Amino acid sequence: MSDTSTGRRVAIVTGGSRGIGRAAAERLAADGQAVVIAYASNDAEAGGAVEGITAAGGTAIAVKADIADEAAVAELFDTAEREFGGVDVVVNSAGIMAMGPVADFDLAVLDRMHRTNIRGTFVVNQQAARRVRGGGAVINLSTSAEKAAMPGYAPYAASKGAVEAVSLILARELRGRDITVNAVAPGPVATELFFEGKDEETVDRIAGMNPMERLGTPGDVAEVVSFLAGPARWINGQTVYVNGGMV
């Protein structure tokens, strides 16, 4: 099966079974792209994401893959090429968030987070650099927490600082290929991961940090991903903050 004859773009979305990744996968499918959802472990969530997209008239498949495993990521791209003829868009949304003060942070947790957030981003971008077709786009998810410099976010923000570095440098390494590479840095977004462990007072305080006085939604971020994945050909090598004006 090949989409080269139809002109339909093909997107890989890592972390596409839930949260921001799922919203991005659904939006790209609604835009007419065939979507390959990469997920780490939850078969039911991945299946639900695919079913939702196909029920809405879109095209999607799910592939289980550890994004830090270079063989698994190579097979992920192989599957996209085999099923749909190529890869035009890569959205790297998979990530782990762990928080705590620098002085007390568990280094084993730091290593696990960095394996996914840093090594995983590098591995996915390495395959993207080799395989994304001309006219394509690579979009990596970062965080506004790095710029906001909020206490407790240092381990996570440090890993996302690496994501931004890879994104901005890869954009320049792909000179002449007509491929854009950008990072998207959301602020607090109303996802299951965000609400975990937070009381109502904390949620309200964080929601009030931006002048819009609300949390972001996965759809807010997916809207920007859609723009960068399609019409935004003159935005390249940038970090785009999507946070309602928080910072």
The maximal CA–CA distance of the chain, rounded, in angstroms, is 56
Reply yes or no on whether 156 is catalytic: yes
- Pick the residue with more confidence: 6 or 230? 230
* Helical packing angle, 19-30 and 43-55, nearest 10°: 20
Q: If you average pLDDT over residues 225-244, what whole number do you get?
A: 96
**Active-site annotation holder among 39, 153, 156, 241:** 156
User: How confident is the model over 7-28, as pLDDT tens digits?
Assistant: 799 999 999 999 999 999 999 9
The model's pTM is 0.94
Q: Could you tell me the pLDDT band of residue 232, with boundaries at 50, 70 and 90?
A: very high
Residue 150: predicted pLDDT:
87
Q: Which domains does the chain have, with CATH numbers?
A: 10-242 (3.40.50.720)
Checking if the pLDDT of 187 tops 90, the result is yes
Separation CA 7–CA 142 (nearest Å): 30
Q: Could you tell me the pLDDT band of residue 247, with boundaries at 50, 70 and 90?
A: confident
Which residue's entry shows tokens 């937070």? Answer: 198
End-to-end Cα distance, the chain: 45
| Structure tokens belonging to residue 216 | 């972001």
